[in-house]
Amino acid sequence: MKLDLPRYTERFGATSLHGVQRVYELDSGFDDGRSMSETLTRVGNDQIIDIERRMAIVIPIKAERLRLLEGVLSGIPHDCLTIIISNSPRQPVDRYKLEKDALLQFNRFVGRDALILHQRDPGLSEAVKETGYTSILGPDNVIRDGKAEGMVIGMLLAKMAGKEYVGFIDADNYVPGAVNEYVKIFASGIAMSKTPYTMIRVSWIFKPKMSETGLYFSKWGRVSELTNQHLNSLISYYTGFETEVMRTGNSGEHCMSIKLAELLTFSSGYSIEPYEIVNVLEEFGGIIPTVNQDAMDKGVEVLQVETRNPHFHEDKGDDHLKEMMVASLGSIYHSKICPPKLREKILESLRGRSMLDEGQPEPPAPVRIEPFRGIDMQQFAKILSKATTYTQ
């Protein structure tokens, strides 16, 4: 892959937030000895494959069309470990079983490493309870519903499998080629990172929508635009300079080194993506003390890379957008580093769009999921092996 070097970087304590980088060639071929422009970099196929071997791709899924899941599976490079975490209904039709059958059938043909597990499996809940990771459990002592909860379980499985990197791809993507590009972007970003504590976030070149006149290639979703605006205000408040650096506040397609992932506190449901950025600033922004001195010394990088493929996914309607918007802005609003002025601006944004119910003074505080660094992975793996839906 041939892509820009970062043109602009916002430095915030030990964190470097790089501006969006463009992809010039999806496949940059063999090294032909030609010199490169000093502003571009080439990540060779051998380097990409080497990173893919050390990467797990987590697909969180809840009742998506199987055809879409099959397409996503076909787009994931062969050498990555695929991990599906499902929260699909088991009754009246066992949708989880259908997903598992589809995965096993796919694997029979391609011979690939893959894991699948149901998020609400009592055996999984037992494994997290016994290892003391209770912040992911609901009042019923079972893993809570939510996309973030599925992603965190995926990260635990990636660590358990000895992977160094974990990427996330939604199951409702219509374009397998785009999925493939996301993973190449993850690997290229990792190759470009100068620290082991790194995160690569995908910025879609277009998110097309159907309009009366045909397809309209919009650039920003309504939620992303607002989330990015408020994340940028948070950064500007501390640096004293307005910025537009953050463009991927809601990006579901992103990846992290396990070394970074295991230090982060996550926020439940759909607030996970913006809160990853907020938490990186909380932990490594130099505003509040941290126990993670090694990451402070080596630095944390956030890279954002714009795709060549447009992003076509399932449109889930206005109520869903409202849920995402309130959760996303709520995760910024309730941060301990959110200044009172920004809180007011967030409230104005939400009230102006009638996103808060009558009498609701503020967005609800998203539930937090603690860092998973301290979990005894051997004990976790031993208990998990008894979970009935765990299939490899």
Name the residue among 390, 367, 372, 341 with its Cα closest to residue 148.
367
Q: How far is the CB of 28 from ligand GDD (least distance, A)?
A: 28
- Evaluate whether 4 touches 303 at the Cβ level (below 8 Å): no
* HSE-up (13 A, CA, CB side) for residue 190: 28
Structure tokens at 251: 């990006």
Residue 172 or residue 181: which is nearer to ligand GDD going by CB? 172
CB atoms within 10 A of CB 340: 7
Q: Least CB distance from residue 210 to ligand GDD, whole Å?
A: 16
Task: For residue 371, give the nearest of 259, 256, 262 by alpha carbon.
Answer: 262
> How near is the Cβ of 153 to ligand GDD at its closest, in Å?
8
Shortest Å, Cβ 299 to ligand GDD:
26
Question: Of the two residues 50 and 314, which places its CB atom closer to ligand GDD in the complex?
Answer: 314
**Minimum CB separation from ligand GDD for residue 273, in Å?**
5
Query: Tokens 């397609």 label which residue?
Result: 253
Cα torsion for 282, 183, 308, 325, to the nearest 10°? -40
Paired strand residues for 304: 20, 201
Name the strand (E) or helix (H) holding 323. Answer: helix 318-333
Nearer to ligand GDD, 72 or 235 (CB): 72
The whole-angstrom separation of Cα 392 and Cα 389 is 10
Q: Tell me how far, at minimum, the Cβ of 143 lies from ligand GDD, in Å.
A: 9
| Residues paired with 59 in a beta bridge | 84
Q: Which is nearer to ligand GDD, 10 or 273 (CB)?
A: 273
- Interface ranges with ligand GDD (CB under 6 A): 60-62, 64, 85-87, 119, 145-147, 150, 170-172, 221, 224, 250, 252, 270, 273, 313-314, 316, 320, 324
- Looking at beta carbons, which residue is closest to ligand GDD? 252
Choice between 14 and 303, CB closer to ligand GDD = 303
Q: Report the residue number, 2 or 100, with the smaller CB distance to ligand GDD.
A: 100
